[in-house]
Structure 1
Amino acid sequence: MMPAVNSDPSDKDSEPFIETDPTGRYGRYNELLGSGAVKKVYRAFDQEEGIEVAWNQVKLRTFCDDPAMIERLFSEVRLLKTLANKNIISLHYVWRDEDRNTLNFITEVCTSGNLREYRKKHRHVSVKALKKWSKQILKGLNYLHTHEPCVIHRDLNCSNVFVNGNTGQVKIGDLGVAAIVGKSHSAHSMLGTPEFMAPELYDEDYTELVDIYSFGMCVLEMVTLEIPYSECDNVAKIYKKVSSGQRPDALNKIKDPEVKEFIERCLAQPRARPSAAELLKDPFFDGIEDDDENDL
C-alpha cells in the first residue's frame, strides 16, 4: 500500500484527488478530458507508476431499467482488458462503485487529445504525416478484425482516435459500441455516427468492413478538415445520400488523385471493399514507415 501523504490545505501547488479507486493506486482530478452520452473522462494519476491516466466514469443510474445495457458495458470493458496493441488505447483497471452507482475504468491517456482537435490545431501537415496517421489507424483495425473473436469498432471517427503529439503515435479509443461478433463476422444493431456509417450499417446486416468505410471517412476528414456530409443539415439527408451511394461534397475538394482514389477504395461496396490487411499493402503507403518499425 502507498504511504499516505497528508495534504496540507495551505499547499496551493498540490492538486487534491476528488476520489481514488478501491486499491488507492489511482486518483481522479476534477479536470474533465471529455464527455459523451453516457461517459465522462477525467484526468487521473497512477501513483504506482507515476504517470497520468484517464479515468472513465459511466453513471449506471442512467441504465437502471436497462440491465442489458449494463451487461453490455461490462462486456465491453472485459473485452478491452484482453486487447493489447500499440494502436489501441489500453485498459489498466476496472471496478464498479456500488455507493456512487458508477462503472469506472482506467485507461492510458494520449497527451494531445483526439485527432479531430489535433488536426484543427495543426493545419499545415504533409501528406506523408497524414499517411503515417492513417497507417497506424489501419494497424489498430487490423488487430481488432483479426482478434479472436473478431471485434468491430462500429463508431470509428476522428473524435475517438487519439494522438500522442510528441511521438506522432495514433491510437483507436472509445470502443464503447464495439461488438464482439465472433465466428459469423456479422452483427445486427445500428449504432454509430451517421456521417461515418457505412450504408449496410443502416440495413443492420454488416461485417467488420463497416470500419474500413468509416476509416475512409476519417482519411477524408484528415485531408479536407471537413466532417463528411457537412453540407447536410440533418441526419435524414445524410442517410438519404449514404444509402443512395452519393459521396460527400468534401471528396470533390481533394486535388491529389492518389489520395482520392485511396479513399474511394475504402468507400466501395462491401463486396469490393478491401480489408485492413489488404489496405496496409496498398502502394499508398509505399515508403511510409512507422517511427518504431526500425526498433523491431
Structure 2
Amino acid sequence: MEGGAAGAGASSNHVADPDTNDAPHTGDEDEVAEVDPEGRYYRYTEVVGRGRFKQIYKAFDTQIGIDVAWSKITAEPHHLSDEQLQQIVGEMTKGLDLEHPNIIKCFECWEDQQRHCINLITELFTSGNLRQYRNLHKHLDLKAVKRMARQILKGLEYLHAMQPPVVHGDLRCDKIYVNGHSGEIKIGDLGLATLIPLRWEESEQDPTPEMEDMQKDVRGDIFAFGLCMLELLTLKQLDPQHCLEVPQLLTQVPDAEAARFIANCVGDPQQRHTASQLLDDPFLQVRKAPPPEPTAGGGPSEAAAGEGEGGDSSNAGEGQIAIGKLRGEDYNFEFQGKAREGKMHFRLFMTQVNDSSAEGANPPVVRTIDFVFDPDVDTADNLAAEISEEFALSPTDTEICAAALREWLAKDMPGSDSNQ
C-alpha cells in the first residue's frame, strides 16, 4: 500500500503473494511471524485473543508506529470453501469504509490463497471484549452500564443509518471491545455473520426464526443489543440461542427502568425501537444533580464567592467551594464544587467561544450543568465523557474537563475526614 494513512479502502482487498509475505530478516525472527504483502504490517507470534473461527495476534504498523491486531480466519478446521472465504472477505472489506468512534477501525483485509486463510488488520484493544471485561469486574454500577449502552447504540445508529443499512448480524458481548483505561467501547467483528450457520451445525441446534432474522434486519441487531444489556446486568452469558430465556431473565433485572428499557429491545419486532429511539429513552439520559439553592450575586463567580463564605452554620461539616476557570477550544469552563456527605457536588458553566467583536454577533451561549461526583462509582474521565456525549464536546474540551476534575479530586476532597 503506497503511503497513505491506515484509512478506508485503499487497495486493501488483494491476494497475498506467497513469495513476498514471509517474515523478513530483521534480527527478531523469533517474534515476527509474517508480513502483509505491502510490507507495512508485521505479525508477531503473540496471541492476544481467540474466537470460534479466528485467532488474533499482536502486530505492528510500521508506517504509523502503533500496535495493531492481526486476525486470521483459516479454512481448516472448519472446512471453509473458497467461495465461503471470498464471501467473508467481501463482507469484511465493507468495514474498511466505516469511520465512527464506536466501530472498530479496520485497516486492511486480504485473502491468502496459498495458506487458505483471511487476514484482517484492525485496532488493538488491550482490555479484551466486553464479556471478558464484565466477568473480570463483577461489581459494575448501573451508571457504567448505561454509559456502555450509549456507546454501543451510537455505533449501531451509525451502521443502521447507512444506505443500504449495515446489519452486524452477530452482535454479542464478545464482539464488542473495551479500552479499560478510558471506558471506550467499540463494536467489532463485522462480516463474520456469514459463519453463523457453521456455528449452528457444530452445536447441532436448529435456529429459531428470531435467530435467522438477526442476520437480515436491523431489528435483529437491536434484539442482540438487548441480550447484551441482559448479560451485563445479570452476569449470565447470553447469545442469540438463548432468546427463549429472555422473559424469565427480564424478571431478574434488579432495576425496573432497566427492565423496561430492555423490553423495548427484545419485544415484538414490529414495535421494536430503533437505535436512535433507544438513545432518546429516559433510561439512558444523564441524570443531573438538583441545582443548589440560589445565592446572592450576579454571575457564576459572585455566587460561588457568596456560598464559599463560612458564615452559614447550616453548612457545618461541608467542604468549602472549589472554583476554577479554564479556557477551552469551543467553550470556556467555570467549575464550582462543594463536598456534601462524602460526595462532590459540581456546577459547571460552559460559555461558548465566539467572536464577540464580529458585526451582528450573537451573545455567547452559556450552559449550566449540575452533577455529583461519587468516589465509589465515578471517575473524572467517565464524568467528562458523559458531559462530552451530551453536548458533543471536542476531544480537546473533553480532556480539559477531565484534567480539571482529576486535578481537584487528586487532592483531599473538601469535607472529607481529613478536612474536618
Q: Do the two structures share a fold, i.e. TM-score over 0.5?
A: yes
For the 8 Å contact 1:200–1:206, the answer to whether it is kept is no
Distance 1:201 1:278, change over 3 A: same
* Structure 1 match to 2:111: 96
Deviation at 1:287, TM superposition (A): 1.2
* Alignment of 1:138 onto 2:153: yes
Q: Residues 63-103 of structure 1, C-alpha deviation per residue, up to 9 Å, x if partnerless?
A: 77734312211211221111111111111112233332322
The runs of 5 or more residues in structure 1 that have no matched partner are: 10-14, 180-188
* Structure 2 match to 1:200: 210
Structure possessing the higher relative contact order (Cα contacts under 8 Å, 6 or more residues apart) = 1
Deviation at 1:205, TM superposition (A): 9.0
* Structure 2 match to 1:159: 174
Deviation at 1:198, TM superposition (A): 7.9
Deviation at 1:251, TM superposition (A): 2.3
TM-score, structure 2 as length reference: 0.57
Deviation at 1:204, TM superposition (A): 8.1
Q: 1:7 aligns with which of 12, 23, 27?
A: 27
Helix, strand or coil at the partner of 1:71 = helix
* Structure 2 match to 1:284: 283
* Structure 2 match to 1:294: 393
* Structure 2 match to 1:256: 255
Aligned residues: 269
Deviation at 1:214, TM superposition (A): 0.7
Q: What letter matches 2:138 in structure 1?
A: R
Stretch moving more, 249-258 or 160-169: 249-258
Helix, strand or coil at the partner of 1:221 = helix
Distance 1:260 1:198, change over 3 A: farther
TM-score, structure 1 as length reference: 0.80
Helix, strand or coil at the partner of 2:191 = helix
Q: What letter matches 1:279 in structure 2?
A: L
For the 8 Å contact 2:169–2:215, the answer to whether it is kept is no
Between the aligned partners of 1:65 and 1:148, the Cα distance in structure 2 is 30
Report 1:180-199 matches (<5 A): 199=209
For the 8 Å contact 2:193–2:215, the answer to whether it is kept is no
Amino-acid identity (%) = 38
Report 1:220-235 matches (<5 A): 220-228=230-238
Distance 1:253 1:144, change over 3 A: same
* Larger-gyration structure (1/2): 2
Distance 1:48 1:191, change over 3 A: same
Distance 1:28 1:83, change over 3 A: same
Between the aligned partners of 1:215 and 1:8, the Cα distance in structure 2 is 43
Q: What letter matches 2:153 in structure 1?
A: L
Structure 1 segments of 4+ aligned residues over 6 angstroms from their partners: 189-195
For the 8 Å contact 1:115–1:158, the answer to whether it is kept is yes
The runs of 5 or more residues in structure 2 that have no matched partner are: 4-23, 288-385, 396-420
Distance 1:205 1:20, change over 3 A: closer
* Structure 1 match to 2:183: 168
Between the aligned partners of 2:151 and 2:238, the Cα distance in structure 1 is 21
For the 8 Å contact 2:167–2:215, the answer to whether it is kept is no
Deviation at 1:145, TM superposition (A): 0.8
Q: What letter matches 1:163 in structure 2?
A: V
* Alignment of 1:219 onto 2:229: yes
